[in-house]
A and B are shown apart, each in its own frame.
Chain A
């Protein structure tokens, strides 16, 4: 069987697994968004202890490998969670691990964005009579959200690629299923090649779409945050 035929034969199973990958990625980045924005707000507007705590969180999750975090969540927590009757499926553990990790990076991007629009805007909002909360909600955040788009796009791409680490959690995402297929057939290299190609295609498509989004939403000034890989 030639490469193309072979590739076509394994594609269905891989595409199914890709669905899991995307599901994982979307949930994780959503979790990351929620936690990340909260952390960023805490860092910018919070009282000292909150700022420090948020800072520690961010330092920890950015400074340690995602793998260690995933294994910590999937193997380290369940003994304690089972005491409260919570069971962690590979998918949920992966979403939590990837999400909490992503939150740390997103928090930094948002913080950068918020701080770059801080001074004048907030003053003006307060002068009009808005409370701090209202000012943040109606004036600061809308602008910050536009400013983070480039960095956030980067983050999304990163999450797609690093969702592959759910492999270690035996989640049936693309890489795990790929490995299973690869071990079954003798054409391991080709299987992985197809897996790599699928990731590449997804990344390229998502990049293009995000680039379009960026153009429509762009604000000159703040560029991408700390580059992620």
Chain B
């Protein structure tokens, strides 16, 4: 994995800083896109699974509800790191299913996110007042119609704040994919750290991690800004999207 040679400075501070800046490039060029791809991918997977799950839990029969609740509890009780290792090394060595590291991380974290998103959507659906359903049924709408035209539009709007939270958590969790070698932002940082250590000395490591942290902060802020924008676009006068307890 040649990334271009690292010019070893002859000890001048200026040279050190230049080299640092140069070597930090891969963070932005390679680490960030991968982090974003992983984040979006697994959020999407979590949404695709979590939404029907929430649905099933609110409107399904008791055995189905129990099943969904168990799924949720399981994927929320197991640490993300363990899930990642399970889906990568576990599958590879025990069953000879060697998935690309990115895919393993995507599946593991995606399944986990689906459990959290299912809870978010479930809460949102349940917080739409019962009167809405009654009114819809009274007009002659079938349950499905009522859910589709009345409950869901409101539930989705109510989900946005919690979902923004989920986005932020997921973004941070992608750093765990570094455990199986996915070269996202955190792993990139580790690689750079090793090289810098040999080339320039260990005192620069702090700076590297500070830069990595700042990049995460920027990504989070951008994401929050984007979702806040979405929230505003969908805003309905007087319709409360903020939950009970915020600050």
A–B contact via C-beta, under 8 angstroms: yes
A residues near B, CB below 8 A? 59-60, 63-69, 71-72, 75-80, 111-112, 115, 161-162, 164-165, 167-168, 175, 178-179, 182-183, 186-193, 195-196, 199-200, 203-204, 222-229
Considering the chains assembled together, what is the distance between the CA atoms of A196 and B84 in angstroms? 11
B21 within 8 A of A: no
Q: Which 5 A-B pairs have the closest CB atoms?
A: A189-B94, A76-B206, A189-B90, A188-B93, A72-B209
Least Cβ–Cβ distance between A94 and chain B, in angstroms: 13
| Interfacial residues of chain B within 176-201, with CB under 8 A of chain A in the complex | 176, 178-179, 186, 189-190, 193, 201
- B168, B178, B203: the one contacting A79 at CB < 8 Å is B203
Considering the chains assembled together, what is the distance between the CA atoms of A182 and B91 in angstroms? 11
Binds A, one of B48-56, B134-142, B150-158, B211-219: B211-219
Least Cβ–Cβ distance between A81 and chain B, in angstroms: 11
Is the CB–CB distance between B85 and A76 below 8 Å? no
Binds A, one of B5-13, B75-83, B227-235: B75-83
Task: Please give me the residue from chain A that is nearest to B178 by CB atom.
Answer: A67
Could you say which residues of chain A place their CB within 8 Å of the CB of B171? 65
Considering the chains assembled together, what is the distance between the CA atoms of A112 and B203 in angstroms? 38
B92 within 8 A of A: yes
Is the CB–CB distance between A65 and B216 below 8 Å? yes
Is the CB–CB distance between B175 and A68 below 8 Å? yes
Task: List 12 additional A-B contacts (Cβ < 8 Å) besides A76-B210, A200-B77.
Answer: A63-B220, A68-B175, A72-B210, A76-B209, A78-B202, A79-B205, A161-B78, A162-B79, A175-B81, A178-B82, A190-B94, A204-B77
Considering the chains assembled together, what is the distance between the CA atoms of A168 and B193 in angstroms? 14
Known A-B contacts A179-B85, A189-B90, A199-B77; A75 and B172 likewise in contact (beta carbons under 8 Å)? no
Could you say which residues of chain B place their CB within 8 Å of the CB of A228? 169
Known A-B contacts A77-B206, A196-B78; A227 and B162 likewise in contact (beta carbons under 8 Å)? yes
Could you say which residues of chain B place their CB within 8 Å of the CB of A59? 217
Is the CB–CB distance between A65 and B245 below 8 Å? no
Is the CB–CB distance between B244 and A223 below 8 Å? yes
Could you say which residues of chain A place their CB within 8 Å of the CB of B176? 67, 165
